[in-house]
A and B are shown apart, each in its own frame.
Chain A
Amino acid sequence: MSLFLIVALPFLGALLPGLMNSAGRQACAGVTFTVSLAAFIGLLTNAPAVFAGEVVQTGVEWLPALGMNFTLMLDGLGFFFALLILGIGLLIITYGRFYLSRDDNMGEFFTYLLLFQGAMVGIVLSDNILLLLVFWELTSLSSFLLIGYWKHLPEGRQGARMALTVTGMGGLAMVGGMLILGQIAGSYDLSVILQNRELIQDSPLYLPALLLILLGCFTKSAQFPFHFWLPHAMAAPTPVSAYLHSATMVKAGIFLMARMWPVLSGTPEWFMIVTTAGLVTMVLGAVIALFKHDLKALLAFSTVSHLGLITMLLGTGTAFGAMAAVFHILNHATFKAALFMSAGIVDHEAHTRDIRRLGGLRHLMPITFVIATIAALSMAGIPLLNGFLSKEMMLEEAHHTVLFGSHWLVPALAVVGSLFSAAYSFRLIAHTFLGAKRDDYPAKPHDPGAGMWLPPAILVVLVVVIGVAPFLAEPFVKIVTASVLGDTATVPKAYFKIWHGLVPALFMSMAAVAGGILLLFAFRPALRFWDAAPRPEAKTIFEGLIAGVVAAAQGFSHRLHNGAFSRYGAIMAITVIAAGYHAWATGTVGEATRTMQPAGPVPIAGWLMLVAATVALVFQHRNRLLSLVLIGIAGLMVSVGFVFFSAPDLAMTQITVEVVTIILLLLALNFLPNHTPVESDAMRRTRDAVVAVAGGLATMGLSFHYLMRDAIATPISEFHLANSYKGGGGTNVVNVILVDFRGFDTYGEIIVLGIAALLIYALTETLLSGPVRARLLNRKPDKPLAGDMHPTMMVVLTRVIMPVVLMVGFYIFLRGHNEPGGGFIAGLIVSIGVVMQYMASGFSWTSARLRYPYHGIIGAGVLIAGLTGIGSWFVAKPFLTSDFTYVRIPPFQEFELATAALFDLGVFLAVVGAVMLSLESFSRLARRAHVRDSEHPMDIDPSRDDPASAEGEA
């Protein structure tokens, strides 16, 4: 089966359990099992190639420019891990089916599980390290979902969060490390990186890369000092713990260390860091595990300890150490998954995992007893079980390892770790299953159905088979070891056998087991001593740390963002000015290349009016109606300026927008108070004035600077001027840019405009359906209303003017391509015409005559523009390619037909719809407030004898 399919199957299959949820638990589990089985079989079809020593590779280019490609490879190491992930996955799925209760959402569970499985398989099959990082993050995310699966448990949520924080931070570090590694090697493909050992180890960036990658591995594999998250992740359902913490998630870090072994290991840095961390983790985890009363916590710390053991073996950097590590990964996965599942069975049947409340279960749960005992004895390192073999190899390797110049440090600590490991294994058996039967179990324990004990039983059979006949596992372990070692070393010749003679490792092993038994007998005094000894509680420290970071972040952001807009407005302005000043002060200023153009009296007069209006606005802004007039003057002067400086299109747009903006602000002022009270003191006003003047001087300086100099690079405008007529068929270059050259931008802009209008509509709707509505209805207008709200003269005038306005709009629209005008301006002009009807004849009268809703007009506009763009696909051109032709229909002159005009029609409609929808929304608010709004266009109509309107006049 293609490697793609093996990786993709769990992801694709992840959809199924969620969908099958209503089909029942059996169907959910069945479909999950089938998907995993298919991937598992697919993996096995690649086994012959892997056993022949080949590396199966496949891939497609994804982002070749970034060196990120979807390339997969399957060698011995990848095959080994994928086998563990999918094989143990199958057992876990079976077990989980019977473990979860009816209240648990099984579809959700299996969906998460398959997502996680896919991400894990992705990690071990990735050939591209960037791809590997993607899968790496996916495991962090999906394990977060799995650990927090029981959302009602606070421990579950906290544990999930802690796991995500720690592994996520490590993942972040690893991204950095991997990028450095890729930079050194010049490729992000593992197959290339693994060939460049000398290049990477000689690079000055080797150490940072190593540290960052190890940070990722250590956090994922719970190595000291990041070991604390793993026990807290035990709040997850037991199938999750069994899966994540025996064979998969925590082994991902180990996998990566093994994967990178050929290029990263063998240096003193690697040896010191990895061996030390592994050793400390092994001893620490084992000691803590002995004193844990929760079965799963005990197993969690024992997992930490065994991961430390494997890390230490990888750290030694010898071929034998790597082989021992591979063998122990296999053995640990088998016995630890079995133990987790047994612990889950005990919890499931006895309703408690507290060792102090258990004991004597061997009579009540004989099957579970046998399974758990064999697995635990293997963990303790008892001969004829697989744990013994790899532990012997570990002790053998430790015997030869010299750390910090000491020959006895590593062996002694290895023995201490093994001793505690044996002790907690024996405690697990003795305190749970042995002893007298009790009569105070929370439930009546008995062996579960075959669905729950069969999966661990299968693993235990493997434990025994490998333990009795290690030569069966030897070829496989050696193939895996060969792919770990790469070209750097040859696989050791050592044979896997139970009896090696009277070697030091045997004595160390015997000492550990004997010491373990003695320690168990002295457990009570040891526990008293342990409980009395002060020790840091990781969770408290972690939470304190997080709280500290949050408090620091809050302190910082609240100082900047304390909810006062004016405060961060000022901070923003000062920052921008300061940054601009810095650029100005440090950059080089060239000589002026343009000469100043002389200013005649007209520009000076315009300038005076603009400045006077702005200054007056600043001083008179408390009088809100007056300030509207003043800002109108400023806007008008800006339009005039556009005309003066050869921008007729801009001037037309500015002046029409000015009209609608003023109408909008007037509508708003209808409700807002029309006076701004004095609130800020002189001090504050001075501060604001200083900031404002500084900002003004800065922009003035910048503008003057560039107005006096030519552009550094040649502007692209020459292209537009040259091609406007030839390519776009229009002589108004601005319009051609809008509808043709930069049509896609314009398309986006009309969509934004439409969204803004819809947002205003939605806000109005929300206001009108909430408590504001009652307030509006009861509102007394604070300004006297006009006696004649719809004066006859105005009604008549606007009615007469309407066709003229439409005609002007149509004309402006049509000529837009060649003369100043176009869809934007025409849309604004038509809107003003319609708004005038609203103002003169009233809201009800106008909206009663409205055939098309404004939403529809916006939609039609965007649709027409979009379809025009899509139309060019039919002639195999890119989106929004325009075309034009000239036609002549007698008796008219020859005229031009351009697809751009159709696009401009879309712009026109969108602008009309958006402007009208915004203004209409505002006036709908007004309508709520003024109940008096008749259907009739005029309040006073001599031809009508309407008592209601007569009343309204009064």
Chain B
Amino acid sequence: MELLVASAIGVLTAGGIYLMLRLRTFPVILGISLLTYAVNVFLFASGRLTVGAPPILQKGVETYTDPLPQALVLTAIVISFGMTAVVVMIALGAYLGSDDDHVDDPADPTSEGGRDAT
């Protein structure tokens, strides 16, 4: 099972990196979302994997999984929504402002303008 989770994290990361390196905003956003999954699962897995022992205290139950990574990841999920929304808004603004959804600036960094965002 550990191998399954580890390989899932690996596949999500690989997909995320590949899409993040694309040239248009939308795939980059998808890539960042995939990376977010990977990172969240990675953090979650730092509590090691436990089946059937949720951290809900019950009488007579002694084994619980590690609750701390869960709490950290819970807020991370919500924050990543906020971050995704901001990135999407910036991408959208850039596209609406210039009719161009490339993520890269023109090759010459000194020239102003060009594919200028918003």
Bits for A705-725, please: 1 = Cβ < 8 Å to B, else 0. 011101100011100110011
B51 touches A646 (CB 8 A): yes
Nearest Cβ on chain B to A656's Cβ, whole angstroms: 9
Q: Chain A residues with Cβ under 8 A from B15's Cβ?
A: 614-615, 617-618, 692, 696
Q: How far is B85's CA from A693's CA once the two chains are assembled, in angstroms?
A: 27
Q: How far is B105's CA from A633's CA once the two chains are assembled, in angstroms?
A: 33
Q: Chain A residues with Cβ under 8 A from B118's Cβ?
A: 766-767, 770, 772
Q: Chain A residues with Cβ under 8 A from B12's Cβ?
A: 610, 614, 634, 696
Choice from B8, B49, B88 contacting A607 with Cβ under 8 Å: B8
A756 touches B57 (CB 8 A): no
Q: How far is B30's CA from A668's CA once the two chains are assembled, in angstroms?
A: 12
Closest to A596 in B: B2
Q: How far is B6's CA from A708's CA once the two chains are assembled, in angstroms?
A: 10
Q: Chain B residues with Cβ under 8 A from A596's Cβ?
A: 1-3
B96 touches A566 (CB 8 A): no
Closest to B115 in A: A563
A665 touches B88 (CB 8 A): yes
Q: How far is B21's CA from A413's CA once the two chains are assembled, in angstroms?
A: 67
Q: How far is B57's CA from A733's CA once the two chains are assembled, in angstroms?
A: 7
Known contacts being A672-B25, A707-B49, A772-B97, is A646 close to B85, with CB within 8 Å? no
Q: How far is B50's CA from A624's CA once the two chains are assembled, in angstroms?
A: 36
Q: Chain A residues with Cβ under 8 A from B14's Cβ?
A: 692-693, 695-697
Bits for B1-40, please: 1 = Cβ < 8 Å to A, else 0. 1111111111111111111111111111110011001101
Nearest Cβ on chain A to B67's Cβ, whole angstroms: 4
Q: CB of A219 within 8 A of chain B?
A: no
- One of A51-59, A157-165, A519-527, A914-922 at the interface: A914-922
Closest to A705 in B: B6
A611 touches B96 (CB 8 A): no
Q: Chain B residues with Cβ under 8 A from A742's Cβ?
A: 71
Nearest Cβ on chain B to A217's Cβ, whole angstroms: 40
B70 touches A647 (CB 8 A): yes
Q: Chain B residues with Cβ under 8 A from A764's Cβ?
A: 89
Q: How far is B4's CA from A604's CA once the two chains are assembled, in angstroms?
A: 8
B57 touches A731 (CB 8 A): yes
Choice from A565, A631, A673, A679 contacting B34 with Cβ under 8 Å: A631
Closest to B25 in A: A672
Choice from A564, A673, A703, A914 contacting B45 with Cβ under 8 Å: A703
Main SS of chain B's interface residues? helix
Nearest Cβ on chain A to B39's Cβ, whole angstroms: 9
Nearest Cβ on chain A to B15's Cβ, whole angstroms: 4
Q: CB of A819 within 8 A of chain B?
A: yes
Q: How far is B1's CA from A414's CA once the two chains are assembled, in angstroms?
A: 85
Q: Chain B residues with Cβ under 8 A from A745's Cβ?
A: 75
Bits for A733-771, please: 1 = Cβ < 8 Å to B, else 0. 110011000100110010011001101100110110011
B13 touches A915 (CB 8 A): no
Nearest Cβ on chain A to B11's Cβ, whole angstroms: 5
A627 touches B97 (CB 8 A): no
Q: How far is B79's CA from A753's CA once the two chains are assembled, in angstroms?
A: 6
Choice from B24, B45, B91, B106 contacting A563 with Cβ under 8 Å: B106
Bits for A870-912, please: 1 = Cβ < 8 Å to B, else 0. 0000000000000000000000000000000000000000010
Which residue among B14, B46, B52 has the maximum number of chain A CB atoms within 10 Å of its CB?
Answer: B14
Q: How far is B104's CA from A660's CA once the two chains are assembled, in angstroms?
A: 28
B30 touches A563 (CB 8 A): no
B78 touches A599 (CB 8 A): no
B83 touches A756 (CB 8 A): yes
Q: CB of A515 within 8 A of chain B?
A: no
Q: How far is B106's CA from A621's CA once the two chains are assembled, in angstroms?
A: 24
A720 touches B68 (CB 8 A): yes
Bits for B69-84, please: 1 = Cβ < 8 Å to A, else 0. 0110111011111111
Q: How far is B75's CA from A657's CA once the two chains are assembled, in angstroms?
A: 11
A668 touches B24 (CB 8 A): no
Choice from B1, B8, B58, B91 contacting A668 with Cβ under 8 Å: B91
Q: Chain A residues with Cβ under 8 A from B53's Cβ?
A: 646
Choice from A563, A638, A738 contacting B71 with Cβ under 8 Å: A738
A564 touches B71 (CB 8 A): no
Nearest Cβ on chain B to A660's Cβ, whole angstroms: 6
Bits for A620-645, please: 1 = Cβ < 8 Å to B, else 0. 01001001000100110010011011
B10 touches A921 (CB 8 A): no
Choice from B5, B9, B84, B93 contacting A772 with Cβ under 8 Å: B93
Q: Chain A residues with Cβ under 8 A from B67's Cβ?
A: 717, 720-721, 724, 733-734, 737
Q: Chain A residues with Cβ under 8 A from B5's Cβ?
A: 641, 645, 703, 707
Q: Chain A residues with Cβ under 8 A from B109's Cβ?
A: 558, 561-563
Q: CB of A680 within 8 A of chain B?
A: yes
Known contacts being A614-B11, A621-B22, A695-B14, is A566 close to B92, with CB within 8 Å? no
Q: CB of A820 within 8 A of chain B?
A: yes
Q: How many residues of B contact A (CB 8 A)?
A: 89
Nearest Cβ on chain B to A654's Cβ, whole angstroms: 6
B84 touches A820 (CB 8 A): no
Q: Chain A residues with Cβ under 8 A from B7's Cβ?
A: 607, 611, 700, 704
A721 touches B10 (CB 8 A): no
Q: How far is B57's CA from A737's CA once the two chains are assembled, in angstroms?
A: 13
B103 touches A647 (CB 8 A): no
A691 touches B17 (CB 8 A): yes
B74 touches A824 (CB 8 A): yes
Q: CB of A372 within 8 A of chain B?
A: no
Nearest Cβ on chain B to A578's Cβ, whole angstroms: 14
Q: How far is B24's CA from A624's CA once the two chains are assembled, in angstroms?
A: 11
A642 touches B24 (CB 8 A): no
Q: CB of A925 within 8 A of chain B?
A: yes
Q: Chain B residues with Cβ under 8 A from A547's Cβ?
A: none
B97 touches A767 (CB 8 A): yes
Choice from A635, A676, A698 contacting B37 with Cβ under 8 Å: A635
Q: How far is B25's CA from A598's CA once the two chains are assembled, in angstroms?
A: 41
Choice from B68, B96, B103, B106 contacting A737 with Cβ under 8 Å: B68
A615 touches B77 (CB 8 A): no
Bits for A663-679, please: 1 = Cβ < 8 Å to B, else 0. 01100110111001101
Q: How far is B96's CA from A742's CA once the two chains are assembled, in angstroms?
A: 41
Which residue among B58, B80, B90, B118 has the maximum number of chain A CB atoms within 10 Å of its CB?
Answer: B118
Query: Which residues of A782-814 have CB atoms within 8 Å of chain B's CB atoms?
Result: none
Q: How far is B92's CA from A604's CA once the two chains are assembled, in angstroms?
A: 38
B88 touches A653 (CB 8 A): no
A756 touches B55 (CB 8 A): no
Closest to B71 in A: A737
Closest to B53 in A: A646
Q: How far is B103's CA from A615's CA once the two chains are assembled, in angstroms?
A: 23
B97 touches A770 (CB 8 A): yes
A668 touches B74 (CB 8 A): no
A668 touches B54 (CB 8 A): no
Query: Which residues of A442-488 have CB atoms within 8 Å of chain B's CB atoms?
Result: none
Q: Chain B residues with Cβ under 8 A from A603's Cβ?
A: 1, 4
Q: Chain A residues with Cβ under 8 A from B34's Cβ?
A: 614, 617, 631, 634
Q: CB of A597 within 8 A of chain B?
A: yes
Q: List 6 A-B contacts (CB under 8 A).
A: A564-B105, A672-B91, A734-B74, A911-B78, A918-B85, A921-B89
* A657-B80, A664-B85 given; 6 more Cβ-contact pairs under 8 Å: A599-B1, A631-B30, A668-B91, A680-B22, A703-B5, A717-B67
Give 7 nearest A-B pairs by CB, closest first: A696-B14, A700-B10, A563-B105, A756-B82, A704-B6, A692-B18, A731-B57
